A and B are shown apart, each in its own frame.
Chain A
Amino acid sequence: MIYLILTFILLLLMIGAAIYAIWQKDLLYAVIASGIISLLLSIMFVLLQAPDVALTEAAIGVALTTIIFIIAIRNTVRFEDEHDKKIKKEKQLKSAEQ
């Protein structure tokens, strides 16, 4: 009973985090949200009697994947719409010049 409700809450959180990760324009937050999904997922795995998988997911999904995403963001841009802003700014500059 309590497990069921706990599971349900976990699942809701997970979906929420997933939607947040896709919706969020700030890639860093999105990535952290996906790390949270992995964390919740590994708890789910424990609940589903899969401790081996849970360990793996915790180590790989939460730590390593998140970190390499963050490194990738460091090397590129942080905001999803950064490029659009750049173009907008260029346009504004151009119109200002004219």
Chain B
Amino acid sequence: MKKAIILISLTILGVYLIDIFTGIGFGTQHFASGVKDAYLIGSKETLRVSNVVTSIVVNFRGFDTLGEVTVLFLASMALGGILYKKRHDVGERSVLFPSTRIVMSGAKLLFPSIVLLGAYVFIHGHLSPGGGFQGGTIIATGFLLMLITYRNYSVSHNRLSWVESLAGVLFISLGLAGYFVHDSFLANVFPEGKLNDLFSGGVIGIIYVAVGFKVAAELTGIIYTILHEKD
């Protein structure tokens, strides 16, 4: 009965959605003029950042990104609260599956290259696909690999906090620099450089690196906390 009602409702919803989206059309631009062109031109001419998504994420809509890293920060904090245990309760972490020697050495080999890849991704965030989020996540997966293969591999909580906080402070202070120099938060204070140069886009690259560190630290923290939950 309940399921039938839900199915019918979902069908109605689906019909409406399909109706709208076929109406909107696929593969064409739906609006006459939008912010899209301003972003493309601004990214190319003013910011000199070749990856437009990056310039949107970090500069045009950088405020969203600030909110986003805050969401992750909050998530790791909330997670710590939800799964909080008194210190002496924290035992060994559960291991998903017993890892063999091959896995262990493989992980050890892979770990540096994963971190390096992540670092590469966020350093080149303004040039090629990728950036702080992607790079940070990749680094976090590296730590994840180590955490699930090695039973006693541990990440210092304090050190994570340091990285996380400093990266956050760096982000905000770069924004505040813009606030004090150009009267506008997140405004670019460094020379823009040349398109497709590593040192282009001024402050954007640096902020994305900060975001990368922050995301990496936060995600690692989240995984660390949730892994230490014993059954």
In the complex they form, whether A and B have CB atoms below 8 Å apart is answered with: yes
8 Å CB contacts to A: which residues of B215-231? 219, 222-223, 226-227, 229-231
Chain B residues with Cβ under 8 A from A71's Cβ? Answer: 94, 96, 226-227, 229
A52: interface (CB < 8 Å): yes
Chain B residues with Cβ under 8 A from A51's Cβ? Answer: 129-130
Is the beta-carbon distance between A52 and B53 smaller than 8 angstroms?
yes
B134: interface (CB < 8 Å): yes
Q: Count contacts between A and B, CB distance < 8 Å.
A: 55
Chain A residues with Cβ under 8 A from B96's Cβ? Answer: 70-71, 74
8 Å CB contacts to A: which residues of B16-55? 51, 53-54
What sequence of 0s and 1s flags, for each residue 96-128 of chain B, a beta carbon within 8 Å of any chain A beta carbon?
A: 100000000000000000000000010000000
Stretch at the interface among B137-145, B169-177, B181-189: B137-145
Is the beta-carbon distance between A55 and B223 smaller than 8 angstroms?
no
Chain A residues with Cβ under 8 A from B129's Cβ? Answer: 51-52, 54-55
With A55-B121, A71-B94, A71-B227 known, 7 other A-B pairs at CB within 8 A are A56-B134, A63-B141, A67-B144, A67-B223, A72-B226, A74-B94, A74-B231
Q: Pick the residue among B54, B141, B230 that contacts A52 (CB under 8 A).
A: B54
Known: A64-B137, A64-B140, A67-B144. A55 touches B130 (CB 8 A): yes
How many residues of B are counted as interface, with CB atoms below 8 angstroms from the partner's CB atoms?
Answer: 25
Is the beta-carbon distance between A55 and B144 smaller than 8 angstroms?
no
Distance between Cα atoms of A92 and B222 in the complex (Å) = 42
Known: A64-B144, A71-B96, A71-B226. A55 touches B134 (CB 8 A): yes
Chain B residues with Cβ under 8 A from A56's Cβ? Answer: 133-134, 137
What sequence of 0s and 1s flags, for each residue 61-98 of chain A, a beta carbon within 8 Å of any chain B beta carbon?
A: 00110011011101110000000000000000000000
Is the beta-carbon distance between A52 and B131 smaller than 8 angstroms?
yes
Is the beta-carbon distance between B134 and A63 smaller than 8 angstroms?
no
Is the beta-carbon distance between B219 and A64 smaller than 8 angstroms?
yes
Q: For residue B195, give the distance in angstroms from its CB to the closest CB of chain A.
A: 18
A60: interface (CB < 8 Å): yes
Q: In chain A, what residue has the closest Cβ to B125? A: A52
